[in-house]
A and B are shown apart, each in its own frame.
Chain A
Amino acid sequence: MKSEDLNVLVLNCGSSSLKYKIIKMPEEKEILWGEAERIGIKTAGKPFITHVTGTKRRVIEAELNSLDDAFSKALELIKEDTGEDPSIYFDIFAHRYVHPGKFFSSTSRILGKDIGKLRKTLELAPIHNPSSFSLIEKCSTDYTAVPQYAVFDTTFHKTIPEENRTYALPVKMIKKYDLHRVGFHGISHKYVMEEACRFLGVDVKTQKIISCHLGTGGASVCAIKDGKSIFSSMGFTPLEGLIMNTRSGDLDMGYVLNLMYSRKLSIDETEKILNKKSGILGVYAQSSDLRDVMKNLGKDVKADIAFSMYIKRIRKYLGFYSLLLKKPDIMIFTDSIGISSPLVREQACANLEFLGIRLDKDKNWNYPGGIIDAAGPESECRILILPTNEEVMIAREAYRRHKNDICH
């Protein structure tokens, strides 16, 4: 083992799931991974953990009433693996943390004094922050000897220029409450940016990139110039921007006021409509999954409208970002929908030749997996299909920071 080798246990919490992965750095070798699902929710199926070490895959049903339960079970499984193979262990924890507010601006080692700061950020991302916070708190009490790092979704967007991140609100209020476009999915956007430039053999500091992170749940588009984020479709919260599975994305604020004003809905009711009942679900009504919508194209008018709206919103950001960047050099499609749906990619890129964007039909429809350039021969813009790997990016960030901490 070389002195700089380090095993990072990456923890990535969702509202009812926990993804974990041990990654050996700096070679970025995945030693094991797992995911606990259906944590603390009532569904037809029981909670379970998928745990994979090398070629050995186990799916274990377990009572996972809380994130604590899931984390304890995951550590138990890792300990069993260590018993069989001593090379399976971890040196540091690396947590994905969505929104640190004004308290942290870059990947940070979390010490006892930082717990209070993080506690003040829970309302900024009510779906994600409380889960991550509870794990960080647990690690800081149960594993005092293991350094833990938080890697933030918002850090990559700290470079968004002032005129792009400012809402037209009273200045005093903007400053007092820190009401700016924050941007999310930064870990993924940064990962695909680095991988795309590595794949194409170009210097990230010279490239103009549009990154489309199209997940089945959240989705965002990011404009990147010379390695820096200059716009994110998600704003102060992950509600703004693209149409998502149950989130409206961009919306007339007059409508939002009308819901509360005229229909006398509470904050919770209104927020629930926009976060849980809108987006694909709001238009299509039968499902929130874009893949269900696509199965019914041409057969159901609502499916046709929902799909057209979803695509049109992506295209609007592509048009805007093309002006911001004065023509992109690279466009990236990533995450589940971005990778698995050639129709989405085709429709998003259609008729954008005047912006230098030309997709190759065969390459797009016959994507073999991995990283490919699906641009046509006359395209001025490289169009990459590139699976994201947030866990690797989290490990990279934590590793860089840890090395830096040790050196200083």
Chain B
Amino acid sequence: MIFVIETGSEDFKIFKYSKDENVYIKEPVRIKSHILRDDEGFINRINSLLAGSEVLEAVSFRVNFGGDIFREKMLPIDSTFKLRMRELIRNSPLGIPPLLETVSAFEDNFPELPLYAFFETSYFNALPDEERYYAVPMEAPADHDVRRWGYHGIYHQFNSNVLPGEKKIISVVLDKLVTVCSSVNGKPFSINLGCTPLEGIMGRTSSGDLDPGIVFYLMRRYNYSIYRIDTLLKKESGFLGLTGYDLETDKLYELAGKDEKTAFAFRVFENQILKSIGEALSVIGGIDAIVFCGCYADSLKPLIFQIIKNLSFLGISIKALPWPDSPGVRDVSVSGSAVRVIVNSLAWNEIVYQDTKNITPKIHPIHPMARI
């Protein structure tokens, strides 16, 4: 059994995979974080997830931020990991502490168990300088954190290698955050989400790109405080702001045919995605494949279809909807298309699992009960 874990401020999610049978349970098990402070309760809870003779062979963690310290996608967690992660807490004050607490619980209670970290930002350490930096002054020490760190590196790195040979690929992740990355021969050249998660395409409640002049105007003319602006841009904007509905993107998309406000919000959304694709296209000067993935890739198929229709002048042509449901990676372009259009249904946790499986076969499994 391999666990893939995503940590949060109040709980952590475990995606369970049976290594031999290649089976996994789609819905993760959610465990409240307070159990991390109760060794016996934690061990019992973890053991309760293993049936019969199952043994836990490895645990992989999704790490949302690795700064410029962690430059590889995957890292076996060793004695220096936590020390180095603590140096990054100022960049991710809400994300790193719960991660370290969870890692510690596994280290303390299952000391022989191989643990791995998979970073969402490491891939983007290879971005060219002109893409990495913003056109702002670099005077104060804190200015050196002002760079495009990127996100969804696990997805984008996987997608950048989806075709064999030397290829120009645009990867679009349709997830809770939507990101667009361009790559050539597996190396990233652009990413539309940068210094913070606010940049780029609108989210469920976040504004995405905005003229900073709007903020100054609201503060000066209408006395908005910075706290009010912060809440406005992060919690009250995006799809919620345009539609009034606070729903998951896939649920909201079902309303688009019935509700004009929602239909309009998706036109704005589509336009923003098109902007990011156009930007990526010109950065790498062409395209061999465009790959869509993320938790909404399947539910937003009509939107993907519409986006690709806008690119048909580039010689791209795709199969008519509905596309057959099949797990994994599938090509939905027609045979004569100048550009491959690929839908990758693998979730980030499945990619992490596959990678973990590939690096653990020689490791002797340790039964968690052994320590007690």
Contact = CB atoms under 8 A, between A and B. Distances in A.
A340 interface: no
Interface in B126-154: 128-131, 133-138, 140, 142, 146, 148
B268 A235 contact: no
Contacts of B209: 250, 253
Interface stretch (A46-54, A86-94, A277-285, A388-396): A277-285
B211 A181 contact: yes
A279 B136 CA distance: 6
B346 interface: no
Interface in B92-145: 128-131, 133-138, 140, 142
Interface in B177-223: 194-199, 202, 206-222
A163 B211 contact: no
A239 B135 CA distance: 12
Interface stretch (A69-77, A135-143, A189-197, A309-317): A309-317
Interface residues of B: mostly helix, strand, loop or mixed? helix
A171 interface: yes
B351 interface: no
A254 B135 contact: no
Contacts of B59: none
- Counting contact residues on chain A (CB < 8 A from B), the size range is 35 or more
A272 to B, nearest CB: 10
A252 B135 contact: no
A256 to B, nearest CB: 5
B198 A252 contact: yes
B136 A253 contact: no
A365 to B, nearest CB: 21
Contacts of B222: 177
Contacts of A133: none
A219 to B, nearest CB: 12
B313 A326 contact: yes
B241 A169 contact: yes
B332 interface: no
Contacts of A237: 211, 213-214, 216-217
Given A163-B268, A263-B142, A253 B215 contact: yes
A260 B270 CA distance: 31
B314 interface: yes
Interface string B60-93: 0000000000000000000000000000000000
A65 interface: no
B330 interface: no
B282 A167 contact: no
Given A163-B267, A270-B216, A354-B285, A324 B274 contact: yes
Residue in B209, B229, B283 whose Cβ sees the most chain A Cβ within 10 Å: B209
Contacts of B280: 319
A248 interface: yes
B51 to A, nearest CB: 44
Given A167-B207, A168-B242, A237-B213, A258 B130 contact: no
B267 to A, nearest CB: 4
Interface string B351-362: 000000000000
A322 interface: yes
Given A253-B198, A257-B226, A319-B278, A305 B133 contact: yes
A283 B143 CA distance: 12
Contacts of A282: 135-138
A169 B142 contact: no
Nearest to B269: A168
B136 A251 contact: yes
Contacts of B211: 167, 181, 235-237, 239-240
Given A167-B214, A168-B241, A237-B211, A123 B220 contact: yes
Contacts of A31: none
B274 A320 contact: yes
Contacts of A255: 134, 136, 146, 195-196
A318 interface: yes
Contacts of B268: 163, 166, 168
A252 B148 CA distance: 9
A239 B239 CA distance: 25
A352 B282 contact: yes
A173 B237 CA distance: 10
Interface of B: 128-131, 133-138, 140, 142, 146, 148, 194-199, 202, 206-222, 226, 229-230, 232-233, 236-242, 244, 261, 264-265, 267-272, 274-275, 277-283, 285-287, 310-311, 313-314
Considering the complex of A and B, which 9 residue pairs feature the smallest CB-CB distances, nearest first?
A254-B196, A319-B282, A237-B213, A351-B285, A320-B278, A308-B130, A235-B211, A168-B202, A252-B199
